Structure formats: structure tokens, C-alpha cells
Structure 1
Amino acid sequence: MIRTELYSKAWVMELYEPATVGEIQQVEQELQIVLPKVYRELLCVSNGVLGNLATLYSTEDLVEMNKTYEVQIFAPGYVSVGNDNGGYHLLMKAEQEAVHFQLVSDGYGVPNENDVTDYFLSWLNSDEGNPWRNE
């Protein structure tokens, strides 16, 4: 579960007002996906996160970025929940019980075993916020 300790992480530069249930449901309807429960929980704490090494998308950005990068076409079954501020997306399976992300280049297809993978909550609760930490 995502708690308010997120406010004390050194890598977190900015948090926002929580998303509403309606905003989260709108994302799922527009993208025709299911957001992972852990990401839904994050959105209920902060509607997006600006970090020094990664950005996690707000409900509005989820729709815009997934449509812009055609994630559901090039990586069906996945959703981009953020990026590393430099050309890589944080993809999660578009499944309620998904618990990890894969760091995949902008020119990606379906993620593979060579992509950097980490458990979303462990990474989120780390003190560094570096999506490359388990490379």
C-alpha cells in the first residue's frame, strides 16, 4: 500500500492533489485498459509525481502519453505509467494485480527479459527514485 511516506522521499520533487475515482475510471475507459491496483493507489495519494530521476503520470498525462506513443498498439497489454525524464518509459502490465514495471526505450515494442525490471512499490519507496537501480 502506498502511504504518505512518499512525501519524505528525497527524490520526490513535487506531489499533487489526489485523483478522484472518476478521473481514474475515465483513464481506463479512454485507454480501454485496467490500471494496476498499485498505480491506482498512487493516484489516490498524488495525481502524478515529479521526481528528479523519473516522472509518474497523472490521470491526464496517462491518456495523453499512452495515446501519443501508441502504447496499446506497440505494446498491447501494457500501460506507460511514467518515464525516466530521458527517453525511457516505465511500462506495467495493464492488469489489476501487476506489481512491477519494465523500463523500455521510446522506440519499444513489447517489453522483453532484457529490459530493466523492478517492483513498483520497492522502487517507489526507495530513497533514490532511480528506475535504473536494478540494472
Structure 2
Amino acid sequence: MNKNEILDELKVVENSLNIKLPNKYKQFSSEEVKDIDAYEIQTSQGNTVYIYNYKDLLERNETYTIQDVEPDYLLIGQDGDLGYFINVKDNSELIYSLDLGALGSLDMDEEAKDIYDLRS
């Protein structure tokens, strides 16, 4: 798929969840992740994070019932049980993390200023 087709698919995700995705996230997803099934990035802490492509966003968020427990956040990737999120209500590019078993009970940790900064 080309960049515009992926941006169109991300718009479907936005409409389905009634959210607005951050611009840098959409750029990263459409230019780098594209439709790759297992897109990996290395964080500065040496962790490997699997970033979801547009096809997996809705399914992963439904599986973990993210919008039921953390309605302001969207799960965009994970490293084992550690989920990586963006806040879809505050119009920021910040990336957060939280153990998926602790959703709704603990505050998320700020990991990076944006998706590009998450990489080492």
C-alpha cells in the first residue's frame, strides 16, 4: 500500500473509535510501519517494541479492551506485557507505557516525546 492508502485506513480507525491520531504517529505509521506485520523498533533502554500496523490497531485495542479501561489512550505497540500508548484526547505526541495487566489501576509512564523519539 502507498502512504495515502495507509492514511485513509488510519482515518477509518479514527472514525471507528471517534479519536484523533497525532500527526507524527500517522506519518510514522504511513511511511515506516506501512502494512508490515512485525515492525520492530529498539528503544534507548534496549527494549524491542513491536509497533502495530493500521490493520492491527483496532483488533489489539479490542482484545485488551483499552477504550473500556483507558478511553483516552490507544495501544500502538507492545514489548511482551508492556503496552505502548498514545493519548488520543490531549492532542499530544507523547508515548506512554504501562503493563497491560495494570490498565486502569496505575498511571502510565511517559516514554518519549513522540514515536520517533521512542527509537534509540
Q: TM-score, normalised by structure 2?
A: 0.76
What RMSD over aligned residues (CA atoms) do the two structures have, in Å? Answer: 2.3
Q: 1:118 Cα shift?
A: 2.0
Q: Is 1:101 aligned with 2:91?
A: no
Higher helix share: 2
Deviation at 1:32, TM superposition (A): 2.0
Secondary structure of residue in 2 paired with 1:35:
coil
Evaluate the alpha carbon distance shift between residue 26 and residue 112 of structure 1 in structure 2; reply closer, same or farther with a 3 A threshold: same
Letter in 1 for 2:25: Y
TM-superposed CA distance for 1:76, in Å, is 1.2
Unaligned runs of 5+ in 1: 1-15, 127-135
How far did 1:95 drift? 4.0
SS, match of residue 99 in structure 1: coil
Tell me which amino acid in the other structure corresponds to 1:109. Answer: G
Secondary structure (helix, strand or coil) at the match of 2:111 reads strand
Shift of the 111–22 alpha-carbon distance from structure 1 to 2, 3 Å rule, reads: farther
**Deviation by residue 1:35-73 (Cα, 9 ceiling, x = unmatched):** 111110111202252346011111111111011111111
The two structures have a TM-score, normalised by structure 1, of 0.68
Larger CA deviation: 50-59 vs 73-82: 50-59
Residue in structure 2 matched with residue 67 of structure 1 by the alignment: 62
Partner of 2:74: 79
Number of equivalences: 108
Q: Which runs of 5+ in 2 are unaligned?
A: 43-47
Partner of 2:45: none
Paired with 2:13 and 2:118, the residues of 1 have a C-alpha distance of: 23
Preserved contact between residue 20 and residue 91 of structure 2 (Cα < 8 Å): no
Distance 2:64 2:23 in 1: 23
Alpha carbons of 1:103 and 1:26: their partners in 2 closer, same or farther (altered >3 Å)? same
